[in-house]
Amino acid sequence: MTAGPSLSTGVAQPLPFPGDHPGAAASGRIGVLLVNLGTPDAPTYWPMRRYLKEFLSDRRVIEVSRLLWWPLLNGIILTTRPGKSGAKYASIWDQAENASPLLVVTRRQTEKLARAFAGRDGRVVVDFAMRYGSPSIAERLDGLRARGCDRILIVPLYPQYAAATTATVCDKAFEHLMTLRWQPAVRIAPQWHDDPVYIEALAASVRASLAGLDFEPEVVLASFHGVPKTYLLAGDPYHCFAVKTGRLLREALGYDEARLRITFQSRFGKEEWLKPYTDETVEGLAKAGVKRIAIVAPGFVADCLETLEELGVENREIFLHHGGEKFAYLPCLNDSEEGQRVLEHVVGRELQGWI
């Protein structure tokens, strides 16, 4: 409704909408959208193929010329990789929830964060989306708008910014916003790679995990997801952020550089990626006579294929095969008390002025 002055009082009074007015959308609430990488709907061939096609078609993820990449992707990769990746997903699949661990943990993080903010401001609505797969960013943005959120904080769940992770979340969100007649006000949470709350949460989690082992590791590896070296040379700051997180974690634990080492995992293809590689480091340590190691993945906020299967299974086998004796993968923060404290801190910091 609009307002106009009353002839008798001079005070503005509501005027009725015209009969064909479509009505205003609900508004006045504040949305928080957590966004993680994504997951297939099932660990079988066709869901895996759909997921991998969306993921590997992203120009932020694969920066190779389309003329070279499309034939390779749609030929060999999408024919062979869904079966291989599906088998790995099946080995870690949460049967009780019928979902990947990443989806299960992200949902729990969302539910706990919603409860935490319910007592602080009743206008806050918390939801989650996946950059690849379901639920999509567009779907959940529309859902928040339908619930009256005209201000939305998008939180890419990556402590260390990278173009292939944080930036592509922004790309997809704004791609959808471009289709809206009435756009909400939007904020994007920045990286928190060196935030003291995050570093202390990591350190506390590592201490607790190590205390639960029946051995003391000689070396702890802080393994971060890798990216091609060319991305670094093109100006991507991810390497710097990851190394700083590793250094601050090392200092918080009171370790030296020999005791806690920074490595990079999950390389794909033949080009050079960020080094040192996690798998080669694990093999090298075993061959050098190190008998006990542990690996933590500070760049992941939730356990997933790359942590549970790649680190916890593949790298364990590498270590034991080459002479190692004791191996432990230390879990991510997930929806632990320490992990939720970090998310509440980041979200609360970025909602200042709105709540």
**pLDDT tens digits, one per residue of 156-210:** 999 999 999 999 999 999 999 999 999 999 999 999 999 999 999 999 999 999 9
Looking at the domain assignment, is residue 271 inside a domain? yes
What are the tokens at 163?
């173009």
Mean pLDDT over the full length of the chain: 94
Main-chain dihedrals φ then ψ at residue 10, nearest 5 degrees: 80, 0
d(CA 195, CA 304) in angstroms, rounded, equals: 23
User: Which pLDDT score is estimated for 26?
Assistant: 75
Q: Are strands 2-5 and 12-15 parallel, antiparallel or unpaired?
A: antiparallel
User: Which pLDDT score is estimated for 133?
Assistant: 96
32, β-bridge pairs: 126, 153
Alpha carbon distances (Å) from 129 to 106, 115, 126, 223, 327: 9, 18, 11, 25, 34
Q: Which of 217, 225, 331, 226 is CA-nearest to residue 285?
A: 217
Per the annotation, does 225 bind a ligand? yes
Residue with tokens 């928040």: 144
Looking at the domain assignment, is residue 86 inside a domain? no
d(CA 68, CA 153) in angstroms, rounded, equals: 37
Comparison of pLDDT for 71 and 1, the residue scoring more: 71
User: Which pLDDT score is estimated for 184?
Assistant: 97
Looking at the domain assignment, is residue 298 inside a domain? yes
pLDDT band at 269 (very low <50, low <70, confident <90, very high): confident
Domain that holds residue 288: 196-330
Residue 4 has pLDDT above 60, yes or no: no
d(CA 303, CA 12) in angstroms, rounded, equals: 57
Looking at the domain assignment, is residue 188 inside a domain? no
User: Which pLDDT score is estimated for 10?
Assistant: 56
Looking at the domain assignment, is residue 149 inside a domain? no
Looking at the domain assignment, is residue 245 inside a domain? yes
What are the tokens at 25?
């959308």
Looking at the domain assignment, is residue 203 inside a domain? yes
- For the chain, the domain total comes to 1
Instruction: Dihedral sign for Cα 261, 311, 110, 182, please.
Output: positive
**Domain CATH code at residue 228:** 3.40.50.1400
Per the annotation, does 283 bind a ligand? no
Average pLDDT over residues 90-98: 97
Main-chain dihedrals φ then ψ at residue 263, nearest 5 degrees: -135, 170
Average pLDDT over residues 263-289: 96
Percentage of the chain beyond pLDDT 70 is 93
Counting other chains too, the contacts that 166-170 makes at CB distance below 8 Å and 24 or more residues apart are 166/191, 167/60, 168/58, 168/60, 168/61, 168/131, 169/35, 169/131, 169/137
Main-chain dihedrals φ then ψ at residue 85, nearest 5 degrees: -70, -35
Looking at the domain assignment, is residue 216 inside a domain? yes
Residue 159's CB is within 10 A of a number of other CB atoms, namely: 25
Q: Which of 292, 215, 289 is CA-nearest to residue 259?
A: 292
Average pLDDT over residues 294-307: 98
- Mean pLDDT check: name the lowest of 57-66, 102-111, 278-287: 57-66
Residue 309 has pLDDT above 80, yes or no: yes
User: Which pLDDT score is estimated for 320?
Assistant: 98
77, β-bridge pairs: none
Average pLDDT over residues 80-91: 96
